[in-house]
Chains A and B, each alone.
Chain A
């Protein structure tokens, strides 16, 4: 519920002399009982007497034009990144959000929220940037659907990676032993050059999960590919089992997911199974001794 807006003109008294800081009052005098986002300042700071009342929450979770620097537009734009990686990502093509230029939000049916965005995305591996228009539809809590995204970009994301992908595909197919690595990157941020494509594959597969899990109240990034193992498969696709750690910025939690996915140059990455794993640092050790 939003309280009514009362705007009171600020009254300034001059700042005199050298910038010594006057002692501050111990607590905000009036906002103890008010709505947490209503500000009533009656404090004296640096010789200024300021008295202002404003309704603040509306400013952020706004409808209409949004400040592109604030978190609502940024979170929606990140979802576009996850969508692009899910659709177009590969061992040689990965997208990152570069900037949000403008954003608009509105409420839609079933307490959904629709964002319209003008953003720039960066293809990280080739270091190119291009502008895109996107629409993100966050489903309302009741709907239990994941977000829906539509994007169109200037250059239509034309980055030619076919030759590299084909070469990698052949290489993994012909290897006598199956690929299996852990900790990409390691604690120091290092990744062996040979393992970069596997890290990228893990990132692309994670993007499906992050796309599914994203809401207006989350911001996901992949923290690490804990392990990625190539499984035996037919000649059309390569198959991988991986465990990834996702970082959710708002709760600051690290969330483990287990994924099963396939990859081939023509079909891209397809996630077959995804499973959230419980966090274990405080798991009880089973009572079975001996």
Chain B
């Protein structure tokens, strides 16, 4: 899908995103009548857009007197010269407002054409484009709704976060980092924030240590979220965990015992570059975020954002990059694939930073938990082979307890078992590495759901998903405080 950035190559001014004049000032975008706008007018309108997006717009009622109701944005890409001419003929006869390119004359082959069409003309344009067999789609089906969604949506999200942090919406990377600082500042008796390194794009990799400060060297639990960028419920859970830990320390005896006897290392966003990328699409005029109407594959980005010098594909699967059986079965050696293992193990600075931290603390870290989505599973090693781990009995019963605790919340069933048989064989995974590194209880959660919403889990399901998952994590942590008795007469695996 061509993006806004491509328009630079066609000598067009950056397209106006919402060429909406402020009500009081400029005339309607449909004067003059034909064929589009001169460069000057486009720039002025663009400036208005930028100003408008920073000025709080009225919420409720209709913006701009509802004049854009039913208007549509058509996206057409003529593939050859003949189609260019046909398209120019069609659009030349209508009153359309060019978003890109700036005018009829600038239409060229293989260049995206975005035109704003008034409600009464949409049927007509559909018919003409179909008749001429031109490939097109309706990029925005109701401009009025889109504008109101954009401004209303943003302002209501902003409103909620001003008074109190809302744990039941998805937050951008910046919001999460701000929240971490705030948690650190207001709960210094339980929270310590530190950085373990920098991402490929130079962002700090923050970790929160949660637990009562103690002179003794406490056992520890590591929880990371957002290894894969598109799994937004992951970071939502990490934030939820921290919130619950802090809020229930006083009145929940189980939580209090856990925080007194253990340290939790929480990494709310492991793959900061990928997560950021899944939230934003940048246009050349500025850093406007409108991921809900923009380039769709970005919301489904999975990998890191490291550059590859041989291919123009970016990113490495951060859960195939660990130094255990690296890049064998279940990982791809092609940089454009979503399970690309990377040029070498621990090539990704994010993976290297976490591996370094866990190696340093390996004597104390008793459990490694990685939060993913979706499939509703609780997985343990091995991922790279079908064999059972030596302490299978203890890990399996911990998993069973966790899944039972999870089920007790809302009756949601999770499958559990070794990753290789339950989900698929993969190599270079973090749970295999953590286990090989001496962490006896290494788990990967795949949270809700099983494919109906998939990665696009509605915000209304954040609460129940996090509530049930917290019970599972508490069960695992509580298990660490007990000795796992083994039956010496039984075989260690089945």
- Residues of A whose CB lies within 8 Å of any CB of B are 9-10, 12, 14-15, 18-19, 21, 23-24, 36-37, 39, 41, 43, 45-46, 48, 50, 52, 54, 56-57, 59-60, 67, 69-71, 78, 96-97, 99, 124, 177-183, 185-190, 221-224, 226-227, 229, 231-232, 241, 243, 245, 247, 249-254, 279-286, 288-290
Contacts and interface: CB of A to CB of B under 8 A. Distances in A.
Contacts of B293: 182-183
Which residue of B72, B339, B385 has the most chain A CB atoms within 10 A of its CB atom?
Answer: B385
Contacts of A253: 337-338
Nearest to A58: B386
Nearest to A68: B415
Contacts of B139: 182
B296 A284 contact: no
Tell me whether chain B's interface is mostly helix, strand or loop, or mixed: loop
B436 interface: yes
Contacts of B452: 96, 124, 221
Given A71-B421, A188-B459, A245-B300, 8 more contacts: A14-B488, A48-B492, A69-B417, A70-B417, A229-B138, A281-B298, A282-B336, A290-B10
B232 to A, nearest CB: 8
Interface in B107-139: 108-111, 119, 122-123, 126-127, 130, 137-139
Interface in B286-301: 291-293, 295-300
Contacts of B339: 251-252
A46 B390 contact: yes
Contact of B385 (A37, A229, A245): A37
Contacts of A46: 390-391, 440
A190 B458 contact: yes
Contact of A187 (B1, B291, B311, B423): B291
Contact of B170 (A50, A78, A188, A290): A188
22 contacts: A46-B390, A50-B492, A52-B387, A60-B386, A69-B417, A78-B451, A124-B452, A178-B123, A180-B141, A182-B140, A183-B293, A183-B296, A189-B456, A221-B450, A221-B451, A222-B454, A251-B337, A254-B297, A282-B313, A284-B312, A286-B109, A288-B109
A39 B296 contact: no
Given A48-B492, A50-B492, A281 B137 contact: no
B385 A36 contact: yes
Interface residues of B, number: 87
Nearest to B170: A188
A259 to B, nearest CB: 13
Given A48-B492, A52-B493, A245-B296, A289 B10 contact: yes
Contact of B312 (A9, A52, A282): A282
A88 B127 CA distance: 32
Contacts of A229: 137-138, 141
Interface string B1-35: 11000100111000000000000000000000000
A252 B141 CA distance: 30
Contact of B456 (A10, A43, A224): A224
Contacts of A281: 1, 295, 297-298, 313
B212 interface: no
Contact of B292 (A124, A181, A187, A247): A187
A96 B376 CA distance: 14
Contacts of A60: 386, 420-421
Contact of A251 (B329, B338, B417, B460): B338
A45 B488 CA distance: 14
B70 interface: yes
A54 B494 CA distance: 11
Nearest to B366: A21
Contacts of B423: 71
Contacts of A69: 415, 417, 421-422
B411 to A, nearest CB: 12
Interface string B424-468: 100000000000111010000000001111111111110000000
A187 B299 contact: yes
A223 B456 contact: yes
Contacts of A179: 141
Contacts of A70: 417, 421-422
Contacts of B159: none
A22 to B, nearest CB: 9
Nearest to A254: B300
Nearest to A179: B141
Nearest to B290: A187
B396 interface: no
A215 to B, nearest CB: 13
Given A56-B386, A254-B297, A71 B424 contact: yes
B377 to A, nearest CB: 10
Given A190-B458, A282-B312, A24 B438 contact: yes
A46 B486 CA distance: 11
Contacts of B387: 39, 41, 52, 54, 56
A285 B302 contact: no
Contacts of A185: 453, 456, 458
A186 B420 CA distance: 32
A97 B375 CA distance: 12
The 4 closest A-B pairs by CB, nearest first: A221-B451, A189-B458, A56-B386, A39-B387
Contacts of B298: 281
B317 interface: yes
Contact of B390 (A19, A48, A288): A48
Given A245-B300, A290-B10, A181 B492 contact: no
Given A19-B484, A290-B108, A189 B10 contact: no
Interface string B320-336: 00000000110010001
Contacts of A18: 483
Contacts of A283: 2
A59 B386 contact: yes
Nearest to A13: B488
Which residue of A48, A186, A227, A281 has the most chain B CB atoms within 10 A of its CB atom?
Answer: A281
B289 to A, nearest CB: 10
A245 B317 CA distance: 20
Nearest to B127: A232
A70 B119 CA distance: 53
A173 to B, nearest CB: 14
A241 B129 CA distance: 14
A286 B111 CA distance: 8
A229 B136 CA distance: 11
Nearest to B297: A281
B5 to A, nearest CB: 9
A288 B77 CA distance: 13
